[in-house]
Amino acid sequence: DPYLRVRITGLDRNRRDILIKFDAQTNLSNFTGTTYRNVSRSYLEFQQFYESIVHSNPQTIVPALPLAQTSAPTDEEDDRLVRIMLQRWMTRICEDPILLADEDLRSFIESDFGYQPTPRPRRKTSSGFSLIRRGVPDEDEELQRARFELTKLEGQFFETARAVDKLALARKTLAGAHSEMGNKLINVAITEAHPPLANAFRKIGRTWHSVADLDQAQAISECVVIGDSLGYQGMNARSAKETLQMRTGVLEEYQAAVKTTISKRRQIERLKASSNIRPDKVDDALEDMEEANKYEQVLARRAEGISQNLHRALETHNR
């Protein structure tokens, strides 16, 4: 079976942009080699690669690119989490049969002197409410429903992530107050002349310090485990929603092609009804109608193919 395996080997932050290093192995026929060692790409190049494959593959859902930084308290932990997230992302990219055939993926792995996206015409994307506004026919209720559900999920994920950040901030403030309380009790213990009472004040003060440490650790954990995860799932929902919106753009193109074909057909009918028929005008009109018909059929097949593949992509995305 065709495969592409990528393993993230390290991150380098000793520069303005994070540098990601990885190894790759493949048996894909469009690659010039089978093994690639110590490939380096900046995070900016990862962003360019992500944007390119999203716009050139409207028939599949590309998972959102993880951010280059987390809420982790140390650089070492931050690098570890970013590396894990990027590894998962690359694995999902390499498991998508549609993306495996994309020329940008080959270029991203093989380029010796940095990655440059393949120049392609950008397709217009429609707004989330274009089906209502323009009345474009769409008989696929499942994909329509998925798009509106993803729009709601995006807002809910981001809203919950912001709420977790606010909770963590409040918990850090509480930790500061608990720590200050502990300091004051220890200061009282220093000036207390009665040794047993001084010892009690000192123990209570240390207890407040322990409570402050727990508050601080819980706040960090909530940001890293819950807040960052919810924020990323919000990005994932947005990516899937925008892919479905691109499909709506294809449907709009198809509907415009149908109208053009109808217009060309009516033009021929008018020529037939005319008393003065010029052969050159008839030939031109027939040629225009044939081109319009062909373009309409191309867009119809493309829209149908995108819809079929998106059903499979949604199942993968839901997992």
Answer for the pair 16, 8: CB distance below 8 angstroms, yes or no. no
Domains of the chain: total? 2
Amino acid identity for residue 229 in this structure: S
Question: Are 81 and 227 in the same domain?
Answer: no
Question: pLDDT, tens digit, for every residue of 1-23?
Answer: 899 999 999 999 877 789 999 99
DSSP H or E run through 42 = strand 35-42
Q: What single-letter DSSP state applies at residue 5?
A: E
Its pTM stands at 0.81
Question: Are 70 and 166 in the same domain?
Answer: no
Answer for the pair 66, 43: CB distance below 8 angstroms, yes or no. no
Question: Are 98 and 170 in the same domain?
Answer: no
Is position 185 within any domain? yes
Q: Give the Cα separation of 42 and 114 in Å (integer).
A: 8
Q: Give the Cα separation of 110 and 114 in Å (integer).
A: 9
Q: Where is the domain boundary, 82, 97, 116?
A: 116
Question: Are 173 and 308 in the same domain?
Answer: yes
Question: pLDDT, tens digit, for every residue of 199-226?
Answer: 999 999 999 999 999 999 999 999 999 9
Q: Give the Cα separation of 280 and 64 in Å (integer).
A: 54
Considering only CA atoms, give the Rg of the chain: 29
In this predicted structure, what is the pLDDT of residue 123? 52
Q: Where is the domain boundary, 116, 141, 172?
A: 116
In this predicted structure, what is the pLDDT of residue 127? 45
Q: What is the CB-side half-sphere exposure of residue 207 using CA atoms within 13 A?
A: 7
- Please give the angle made by the CA atoms of 202, 203 and 204, to the nearest 5 degrees: 90
Q: Give the Cα separation of 54 and 87 in Å (integer).
A: 18
Structural domain of 272:
162-318
**Residues lower than pLDDT 70 in the chain:** 120-137, 319
In this predicted structure, what is the pLDDT of residue 11? 93
Domain of 229, CATH number, reads: 1.20.1270.60
